[in-house]
Amino acid sequence: MELMKRALLAIAASLAAFAGITAQPAAAQSTNLESAFDRMLGTEVRTPQSFSAVYETALERRIAQLADGSSGRIGVAAVDLRTGAEIMVLADQRFPMASTSKIAVAATFMEGVEQGRWSLSSEFPLLIPLRSAKYSSPTAPVRRGNYLPARELIEIMITRSSNAATDALLHVVGGPRAVNDWARRNGFANFSLDRDIATLVRDDGEYDPANYIDMRDSANPRDIVRMLAALNNGQVLSATSRQVILSSMSRTRTGKRRIPALMPAGAQVLHKTGSLNNTSSDIGIIRGPNGQSIAVAIYVTGQGAKLKRERKIAAIARALYDGMIANSGRNYAGAQYPGG
């Protein structure tokens, strides 16, 4: 699908040139080329396709219905960590990672621990952003704050989504390029971290992710869920390193209205949230009392408000739990979000 889109976008680009699109600024060119693509071939690349034609099982059709993209793009990926069975809806399209990228930052740092470059007791300063105007510099200015042990930096980066702790560790490992290198070496090609968190937050809002795909600081849900599966199943990092990350994910305090919101008693959620302009996300591992586990990545844009995005995440997560853990793939009847 991605190769087809590229080829068709090339055709759209050729036709658009006659309309003067290529004479416009780069950002406008990209937006208008996507519009030309839509006018020529429809919007199937951006929204789930015909439920009956594409999705074979009742669970797949239910997830596709919940991930309806008419009010903003929604990408979902889930994999059964025992059998490898997958559910994918718009999973090959790129979405803003926001703070979900912090799992890869932690993994890159833990690889350095394994190599003896630093330890969990090594202390590094928080990097606290200074006030600066949007787009005023390639990198937002920061100042050094308190020194904290790396173990604590990882903990607050994941459980509280601390940006200052993230940038501290990002600086230690060698910046976004080092994290991208870790991702590429481990097979996650559709992952790109391009800015530190201070710059990402300062310059947030340049594009609307509901209808524009900004490749910077983005990933597709398929690669994110594969990353989570690799962490859980021992395909990357040592058992000790993986446990540091997964343990912190089990204590996450953010996103209580997201993946955990509709989980039944006995389910355990290890997750990491992400939030930016008009986008909310949650990725993680859901473990059932029956011993089954799934990795999930849910990226939601648009929908009108943050609460509505969070309700989407919660409903999709519960549907995945019921279909892949509680019912092991049997038909899903649906769950109602409290209060609506």
Q: Is residue 54 over pLDDT 70?
A: no
Instruction: Tell which residue, 236, 135, 209, 218, has the closest CA to residue 176.
Output: 218
Domain-wise residue ranges, the chain:
2-41, 51-326
pLDDT digit string (tens) for 129-163?
999 999 999 999 999 999 999 999 999 999 999 99
Q: Is residue 224 over pLDDT 80?
A: yes
| Mean of per-residue pLDDT scores for the chain | 85
Average pLDDT (84-91) is 94
pLDDT band at 44 (very low <50, low <70, confident <90, very high): very low
Q: Is residue 59 over pLDDT 70?
A: yes
pLDDT digit string (tens) for 267-285?
999 999 999 999 999 999 9
pLDDT band at 70 (very low <50, low <70, confident <90, very high): confident
Average pLDDT (107-129) is 98
pLDDT band at 338 (very low <50, low <70, confident <90, very high): very low
CATH class, range 51-326: alpha beta
